[in-house]
Amino acid sequence: QADVELIGGYEPARTIITESLKAGKNVVSANKAALAKYWDQIFTTAQIYQKSIYYEASVGGVIPVVQGLSEGLASEEILEIKGILNGTTNFILSEMKKHCVPYEDALKSAQKAGYAEADPSFDVNGIDTANKLAILASLAWGSWVKVKNISVIKGIADLDIEDILITQDFGYAVKLIGSAQKTKDGIDLSIQPCLVSHEHAFATVENEYNAIMITGKDSGDVLFYGKGAGQLPAASAVVSDIINLSKSIVTNTAGVVPDVVYDSTKKIKILPAGKSKAPYYLRFTVIDRPGVLSKISGILSEFKVSIARSLAQFNMSKKDYGRITIITHETYSENLEKALKQINATKSIIKSKTVKIKIEF
């Protein structure tokens, strides 16, 4: 009465899942890619044929976040979902910080430890995190949140060890964060490396571990933490799903009540990417000449980006350039992008493209 799908990818996984449901079988799956891309089709089919689909292992490895969101927080109005949702990238970032090594060396360590594939692009470019965030957001708000609606700003492959060390001195850790936040103008969805204060719980999440913070209107913050990568944690979640599904089958309740409260006609508003607001860390590599900081701050001010903190360092290893680091106040991302575009085009003061990292906590 049940099929288990663990092959990954989009096809033939989608076909296997939907045909199993149509054949009167319940399904256990760990496939975040197929679930995120075909959420509407899969759960509509499950409801039509009154069958269950269990998918705890698709998000966060062994962490029971799907069950926690759908059952433990069923009465809540969900305001935010923010998390470290990919064990591979978190392992790489941990290696970079602990051993002061560049991304390429940290990636090799992750591959050697079995946490990164030979081709790690799916993880390090943020696609895996986007799939998982799409599943959690769809579950939280009862409507299909498509992966294409999530702004994957960038992954971690171009992170410079210099920025990890600088921001560490500023009191931050760098984490790849998937964020879904309910605002009055729509759901703000993004994937990008972010700065997390050393005082926040996420800063202590190391190696292959994941953490997801879900904020409810009445519950406040609820933190889920555990191993998000590795064969055994994933297997544990799959077997738990099989056990829970078996209980429903024995009691003849599997599929009678939909596992996901889902209305295919319900639409939710997505906040345009440029309307997202946050403070940012900026690092400028500049030509050493008078008035550089004044010029940069003037352009930022022109686009309504205010400075909370700045540090200028000149006469470094090379005499012809310096480094200016700035922490901004909360600002619209579209305003910041316009300001940086103008600053980067000012070749008389800028030596290389400005580094920008969102400050999440």
Residue 48, classified by CB atoms within 10 Å of its CB into exposed (0-12), middle (13-18) or buried (19+), is exposed
For residue 147 the two structure tokens come to: 């992966």
Residue 226 bridge partners (DSSP): 210
- d(CA 84, CA 45) in angstroms, rounded, equals 31
Of 301, 275, 296, 306, residue with least CA distance to 345: 296
| Peptide bond between residue 12 and the one before it cis (omega within 30 degrees of 0) | yes
**Is 108 among the catalytic positions?**
no
- d(CA 172, CA 168) in angstroms, rounded, equals 5
Ranges of H-type helices in the chain: 13-22, 32-37, 39-48, 65-67, 87-99, 103-112, 121-124, 127-141, 161-169, 231-250, 292-302, 333-344
Question: What are the two backbone dihedrals, phi and then psi, of residue 157, each rounded to the nearest 5 degrees?
Answer: -65, -25
Contacts (Cβ under 8 Å, ≥6 apart) of 304: 331, 332, 335
For residue 177 the two structure tokens come to: 């964060």
Annotated active-site residue in 37, 82, 97, 132? 132
Of 174, 184, 144, residue with least CA distance to 39: 144
CA 256 from centre of chain: 33
CA 294 from centre of chain: 35
Of 201, 156, 157, 158, residue with least CA distance to 174: 156
- d(CA 89, CA 207) in angstroms, rounded, equals 9
The catalytic residue positions are 132
